[in-house]
Structure 1
């Protein structure tokens, strides 16, 4: 298998027959992936006046998404992506409407939190379905790796657009506009993806490849290592996603919070393209701890700037290691996941990221209320260092084997 990805590999992957319609539909479905939670956070903060309550509600959405990713992924591996996506799109539309009404009628935070969890668990999960589709459309090799890299890079594009849109829309006369816009995009894109020919023809896994473990894909030691890497990645992002808007609020420029988070992802997309061509470290069992450690250090340095301009520049630097981590997680699934569990395995990665982000947002919300954003950045860096050391200790679970020697250095 190729150890690097060229621009031609990206072109061949995206021009593969049958890929066009699901790619376009998944773009619309995944655009709000970083928008709904942040829009809900800003919406609740405007209505309640506290980041602590807003962080709790937003974190509850992420916990729901974490649970839904695994459940939906396992179902998709068995019956295909179209039926689950269609059902979840309808249920999610109803529940997000109830959530908005509850916020408008000043329901207690406990009620908002429970509803937010229901919103998260029913969010239609197009991301794992889209990634799993490439295993049928493309043979293994550099072109499929380019498709996985595209999935990670496109997600970071959504992380650029999503927070920026959330920050702009919350400034409109009705602060719930971002939640509604994100929900509509997600539902329309998910239904469109489910109705494409490629999705409808996606075959469920056979009994021979089905995992017999109740734990499914996460029963693999290598998958648990990948999940740990994703957990740390999500925790750091979650803490930043609360601390940055709080810093903007303290500086008297609350509308800049979402735009500043977008800065975090600008360098991520550019570096992600370059990193795919020459990944370092090449061995996957070394790459995961090295990337998380570097990211933790850069996040800790966000505590240093004293102005929003300085913080924006620091975010630009920190963002350079986002897409390389997302891509590494996606490629590592090929190495670590049991056969026939591609959708569920990616669901576990999303689950780990969102659980980490939920914990990070909740912790960060408390820290910014009591001590301010700089401490939240410093604590985030310390958490990242600890988890990076954990990955180093567990590196043997992803060490190259004769069957995966090439893949382990992709």
Structure 2
């Protein structure tokens, strides 16, 4: 199995397909805060409590809730269609986020904050999987659909980089909870707007497939391999997202942390677009362990800032590591299209989001402890080594994604090219 390349013309054709504009814009608004929520929560609670360890636990509670809720919501969406589940989730999330802000502001006990953060994450709208699965209805199989999936991966990666950067910048606002409120509001409004667009409202539930048990889409070994790759990616990023703000805060410039994190986005987006044109290694079963291993090595190399506290040196190493982010997220998205059982498109991508979120939660929580015990550079070293270890595990499991499996496209309804063309032609914003 190999990931195909996509040209700029394919990206343009996918994004300008009939019916695509409204859900694309709404999805962008709702997905942008996905990676912002965790760090915004961490920085808000850290300012309120004065403890990175306590803040890491609350942030991890939010991310753990997302990891549990995204798969469950994905299954419901695959069975009922996306509109009603997303609207309910958006309303509940807005309410849960409001309660959490009140609890932090009134300095409630840490245990209560963790529980409330868990609940907020649990009802966070499962927009990434729904947005990705919509493309199977808007464009036919082939290079344009690959470009659409690559767009989803690239845009999500940009959000994973810019979101934390914006959160780190907003923490210096007069009220440190500004970043969290902005993120929660954008997610609520964007998810609801996406749910009521016409292309989303006309989607039909997926046909019933063979029983795959309690694990759902994750029952397939190939999906477990993809989820493991996503877990490793999130774990490494989680360490960096805590290590960088801690490093800049110790150096006396907290706001610089946001600028350093945003530096990732420049290299990541440019490298991601170029990489999608000529991906290497081309076979996905080789690409995922290679990219995660190299990512871990470069993040570990960021630890050299310890004896030499240089922002410039950190930026150079971060740019090199950032160039490998989009290629990983794109590989995960392309692999889902092949590894997922039929009729589980949203749930399958939910597992990828869940795995990345669990990795972020574990990385941020562990990094907070490591930072307080041994300093920020140690967080980079620990995160990088964890990525290398999981890359070795991916290499051992590479046969589960070997090229002997035929390429399949999963969608809510029929995946026949002619049917996709008919739906595209009859769908309008």
TM-score, L = length of structure 1: 0.96
The 3-state SS of whatever aligns with 1:204 is coil
Q: Please name the residue that 1:40 is paired with.
A: 41
Instruction: Give me the whole-angstrom Cα distance separating, in 2, the residues matched to 1:224 and 1:36.
Output: 26
Q: Please name the residue that 1:222 is paired with.
A: 222
Deviation at 1:68, TM superposition (A): 1.1
Q: Please name the residue that 1:202 is paired with.
A: 203
Instruction: Give me the whole-angstrom Cα distance separating, in 2, the residues matched to 1:14 and 1:371.
Output: 47
The 3-state SS of whatever aligns with 2:324 is helix
Q: Please name the residue that 1:80 is paired with.
A: 81
Q: Please name the residue that 1:277 is paired with.
A: 277
Instruction: Give me the whole-angstrom Cα distance separating, in 2, the residues matched to 1:210 and 1:269.
Output: 39
Which segments of 5 or more consecutive residues in structure 2 lack a partner in the other structure?
410-429
RMSD: 1.5
Q: Please name the residue that 1:397 is paired with.
A: 400
- Contact 1:13/1:146, CA 8 A, preserved across alignment: yes
Instruction: Give me the whole-angstrom Cα distance separating, in 2, the residues matched to 1:36 and 1:402.
Output: 37
Deviation at 1:309, TM superposition (A): 2.4
Runs of 4+ in 1 over 3 A off after TM superposition: none
- Contact 1:2/1:141, CA 8 A, preserved across alignment: no
Q: Please name the residue that 2:379 is paired with.
A: 376
**2:70 aligned with 1:55, yes or no?**
no
Q: Please name the residue that 2:418 is paired with.
A: none
Q: Please name the residue that 1:314 is paired with.
A: 317
Instruction: Give me the whole-angstrom Cα distance separating, in 2, the residues matched to 1:366 and 1:404.
Output: 43
- Contact 1:61/1:120, CA 8 A, preserved across alignment: yes
**What aligned pairs does 1:167-206 form with structure 2 within 5 A after superposition?**
167-206=168-207
The 3-state SS of whatever aligns with 1:173 is coil
**2:21 aligned with 1:30, yes or no?**
no
Superposed CA offset, 1:381-406 (max 9, x none): 11111111101111110001262399
Q: Please name the residue that 1:136 is paired with.
A: 137
The 3-state SS of whatever aligns with 2:112 is helix
1:326 to 317, 325, 329: 329
Instruction: Give me the whole-angstrom Cα distance separating, in 2, the residues matched to 1:38 and 1:378.
Output: 20
Deviation at 1:159, TM superposition (A): 2.9
Deviation at 1:163, TM superposition (A): 2.2
Instruction: Give me the whole-angstrom Cα distance separating, in 1, the residues matched to 2:100 and 2:215.
Output: 32
Instruction: Give me the whole-angstrom Cα distance separating, in 1, the residues matched to 2:37 and 2:4.
Output: 36
Instruction: Give me the whole-angstrom Cα distance separating, in 2, the residues matched to 1:56 and 1:160.
Output: 21
Superposed CA offset, 1:309-335 (max 9, x none): 221221111100000000000000112
Instruction: Give me the whole-angstrom Cα distance separating, in 2, the residues matched to 1:295 and 1:127.
Output: 23
Instruction: Give me the whole-angstrom Cα distance separating, in 2, the residues matched to 1:321 and 1:382.
Output: 16
Distance 1:210 1:27, change over 3 A: farther
Which segments of 5 or more consecutive residues in structure 1 lack a partner in the other structure?
none
Instruction: Give me the whole-angstrom Cα distance separating, in 2, the residues matched to 1:99 and 1:41.
Output: 13
Q: Please name the residue that 2:254 is paired with.
A: 254
Instruction: Give me the whole-angstrom Cα distance separating, in 2, the residues matched to 1:13 and 1:2.
Output: 17
- Contact 1:168/1:255, CA 8 A, preserved across alignment: yes
Instruction: Give me the whole-angstrom Cα distance separating, in 2, the residues matched to 1:133 and 1:72.
Output: 15
Q: Please name the residue that 1:344 is paired with.
A: 347
The 3-state SS of whatever aligns with 1:348 is helix
Superposed CA offset, 1:248-293 (max 9, x none): 1110111222222111222111100000000000111111100101
- Contact 1:2/1:142, CA 8 A, preserved across alignment: no
Aligned residues, how many?
A: 405
- Contact 2:162/2:261, CA 8 A, preserved across alignment: no
- Contact 1:211/1:340, CA 8 A, preserved across alignment: no
Instruction: Give me the whole-angstrom Cα distance separating, in 1, the residues matched to 2:9 and 2:390.
Output: 36
Deviation at 1:143, TM superposition (A): 0.5
Q: Which shifted more, 89-98 or 252-261?
A: 252-261
The 3-state SS of whatever aligns with 2:403 is coil
Instruction: Give me the whole-angstrom Cα distance separating, in 2, the residues matched to 1:159 and 1:46.
Output: 22
Instruction: Give me the whole-angstrom Cα distance separating, in 2, the residues matched to 1:236 and 1:212.
Output: 31
